[in-house]
Amino acid sequence: MTLRNVGDLPVLPLPESFALTAAYNDDQFPNKVNLGQGVYRDNNCQPWVLPSVREAEETLHNQQVNHEYLPIAGDSKFLTKARQLLFGPQIASSAENISSLQTVAGTGANHLAALFCARNLCPKNVFISDPTWDNHHLIWEMAAPNVTQRLYPYYDPTTRGLNLDGMLAELESSAEDNDVVILHACAHNPTGIDPTREQWKKIAQVVRRKKLFVVFDCAYQGFASGNADADAWAIREFYSMLFTEELSSSSSSTPAGMFVCQSLSKNFGLYGERIGALHLIIPPWTSPEGAKAHLVQLVRAEISCPSLFGARIVHTVLDDAELCTKWQEDVRIMALRIKTVRALLKSELEKIGARGDWSHIEQQIGMFSFTGLSIAQVQELRERHHIYMLSNGRMSLSGLNETNVAYVAGAIRDVL
């Protein structure tokens, strides 16, 4: 290995979303619009503290809680509630094959999952949707450099919809036993395109037949449709199809296991608290204790133990029936606002005669729209109109409201 002076290391670029936010903040143009950063904004395009979260903060303040270390695996009360939210009370309370650990948001959960898979499964490939959240690639590059990253078709630019046939064909022809496949549980980032329930069942059948290890990334539960149970449907269906007691321990088509990387940052508006969980599901006739011990060891080496405040907030909200009902209304409000600006943008583009079919904007779900704009068009939007979005055409809809949607629509028409 060649020794280098650390002062000679090349400067690496910032991730695009962070670089865009920095450029937006430096821009002095009065009508600039930030459609790049994946965070919720209210109708004035300002940060919004969920009322249920604010009330939980006040409750904790009045309790005068301490600030001691958590166990390595995290806050057990938080993990119980996070698991119930994700899997539903029935599965969460009865399934002994689910092990849960608190993580540094969804990113930390994904990184821990990649480390564990690389060290213990030794997969040949990890299959990642084309396109995907860009951090998936970096996480696997850093945590599992010996695992080959392979793309499976996901977005069909012709229909601006899901390429299910291409996805299934790639997994059928290229995936091997114990290979890993990353799936977005809801509100796919960046496309906003989710499989239907029947399509999810077809994907699960291929996973079971090919004996793949699934890593679900669940970053927007409740935020996508406004209903937390509906947004967790795919995860619960996979659990039912892959890991129920009806499956025989000698089954030749049982996958090795499944991870769910759960972020509570976005659906609680706790971005800076970095709160998340990792759930490992293994076949019910096996013991999870050994696998959980290896995960705990990885956490110890990385962060020693997770942070406390965000976990307390989530537990306080979900453990109180009245607060939980308020939180459900909060996420419904967020989801409804995003749906409303989707309809506004589509209507405005059609009203001003923007070239093309814009129905996909309203058909997609979640915070993002995969607009279909080219790299050159996105660059022109930034340079001429001070509108910032990712170069792949992903638009964060929370940056839109009634006062700027006409300006954005007109700018899009100008660059087509």
Q: pLDDT per residue over 27-51, tens digit each?
A: 999 999 999 988 999 999 999 999 9
- Tell me: pLDDT of 248 over 60: no
Give the mean pLDDT of the chain.
94
Dig out the tokens for 395 from the structure.
């638009």
- pLDDT for 191 beyond 80: yes
pLDDT in tens, 192-204: 999 999 999 999 9
pLDDT at 90: 86
Q: How far is CA 93 from CA 24, 75, 246, 248, in A?
A: 46, 17, 18, 22
Whether the per-residue pLDDT at 169 is higher than 90: the answer is yes
* pLDDT digits 0-9 by tens, 250-287: 555 667 799 999 999 999 999 999 999 999 998 877 77
Parse the chain into domains and list their residue ranges.
14-50+323-415, 69-319
d(C-alpha 240, C-alpha 377), whole Å = 44
Phi, psi of 350 (to 5 degrees): -70, -40
Q: How many helices (H) and strands (E) does the chain have?
A: 16, 13
pLDDT given for residue 246 in this prediction: 55
Residues sharing a CB contact under 8 Å with residue 200, sequence separation 6 or more, in sequence order: 233, 234, 237, 238
Q: What percent of the chain has pLDDT over 90?
A: 87
State which CATH number among 3.40.50.2300, 1.10.3720.10, 3.40.50.300, 3.90.1150.10 fits the domain covering 14-50+323-415. Answer: 3.90.1150.10
Residues 277-323 pLDDT 10s: 999 998 877 778 899 999 999 999 999 999 999 999 999 999 999 99
Q: Catalytic residue positions?
A: 133, 217, 266
Residue 113 backbone phi and psi in degrees, to 5: -65, -45
Please give the Cα distance from 287 to 235 (Å, whole number): 21
For the segment 157-164, the average pLDDT, to the nearest whole number, is: 94
Q: Is omega for the bond preceding 145 within 30 degrees of 0, making it cis?
A: no
**pLDDT value at 348 more than 70:** yes
- Quickly state the pLDDT bin for 94 (edges 50, 70, 90): confident
Residues 386-403 have pLDDT tens digits of 999 999 999 999 999 999
Report the CATH fold assignment for 69-319.
Aspartate Aminotransferase; domain 2 (3.40.640)
Arithmetic mean of pLDDT, 94-100: 87
For residue 62, what pLDDT band results from cuts at 50, 70 and 90?
A: very high
Quickly list H helices, 154-232: 164-174, 197-210, 228-231
Asked if residue 366 lies in contact with residue 338, where contact means CB atoms within 8 angstroms, the answer is yes
Instruction: Give percent of the chain above pLDDT 70.
Output: 97
Amino acid letter, 296: V
Q: What is the bridge-based pairing of β-strands 258-263 and 275-281?
A: antiparallel
146: confidence class by pLDDT, cuts 50, 70, 90 = very high
- Whether residue 83 is predicted with pLDDT greater than 50 in this model: the reply is yes
Other beta carbons within 10 Å of 99: 20
**Which residues are registered as beta bridge partners of 263?**
276
d(CA 158, CA 404): 29
pLDDT at 1 over 60: no
